[in-house]
């Protein structure tokens, strides 16, 4: 359990950032982050060690996100968000971390990357700070595939950011 506590302290902000970038909702990102670590504690006895603990936790996070998108809460929340478009409350330390790492414009551009697997790789690399090996394991591709895809997306984002600055 001590290892899980250390991993929690280390990657909780990264898991939160993963959800926040994907959803843009601080409260929801906190809830899903909590759900991930609750599931990890419950499932720890079944963890076989085929991957690192961090990779295993991010696989739980990806599954929680998929389940959320399939749920009715997502549809209701999306409708509410589109109708309200309210301002964010005062930033939390996690949000400050996210804003420090990149502007909202960058996050928007990342969320528009195609195909969705490219977005996933970029978010896992930048905000979750996973290695290419861990990303490859999570997405079922090679480490090299993750590395090349990330590089191509980074070049594309850099070009787009330069064009928008001119």
Nearest to 127 by CA among 3, 20, 4, 36: 20
Secondary-structure class of domain 1-90 per CATH: mainly alpha
The pLDDT of residue 71 is 74
The CATH classification number of 102-166 equals 1.10.10.10
Nearest to 97 by CA among 135, 58, 129: 129
- Contact between residue 118 and residue 153 where contact means Cβ atoms under 8 Å apart: yes
Q: Which long-range contacts (CB under 8 A, 24 or more apart) does 125-132 make?
A: 125/150, 126/101, 126/102, 127/14, 127/17, 127/18, 127/21, 127/98, 127/101, 128/11, 128/14, 128/15, 128/17, 128/18, 128/58, 129/14, 130/54, 130/55, 130/58
Global pTM reads 0.62
Nearest to 40 by CA among 20, 62, 23, 25: 62
The residue extents of the domains of the chain are 1-90, 102-166
Q: Return per-residue pLDDT of the chain as tens, 166 residues.
A: 576 678 788 889 999 999 988 888 889 999 999 999 999 889 888 888 888 888 889 999 999 988 888 776 655 555 555 444 444 455 566 655 555 544 567 778 888 899 999 999 998 888 888 889 999 999 999 999 999 999 999 999 888 877 765 5
């Amino acid at each position: 359990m001590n290892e899980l506590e250390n991993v929690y302290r280390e990657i909780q902000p990264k898991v939160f950032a993963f959800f926040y970038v994907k959803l843009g909702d601080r409260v929801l990102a906190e809830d899903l982050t909590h759900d991930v670590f609750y599931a990890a504690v419950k499932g720890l006895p079944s963890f076989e060690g085929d991957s690192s603990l961090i990779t295993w936790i991010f696989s739980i996070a990806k599954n929680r996100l998929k389940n959320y998108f399939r749920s009715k809460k997502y549809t209701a929340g999306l409708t509410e968000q589109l109708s309200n478009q309210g301002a964010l409350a005062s930033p939390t330390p996690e949000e400050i971390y996210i804003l420090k790492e990149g502007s909202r414009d960058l996050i928007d551009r990342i969320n528009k990357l195609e195909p969705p697997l490219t977005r996933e790789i970029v978010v896992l690399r930048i905000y979750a700070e996973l290695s290419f090996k861990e990303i490859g394991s999570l997405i079922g591709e090679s480490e090299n595939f993750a590395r090349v895809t990330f590089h191509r997306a980074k070049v594309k984002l850099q070009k787009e950011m330069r064009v928008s600055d001119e």
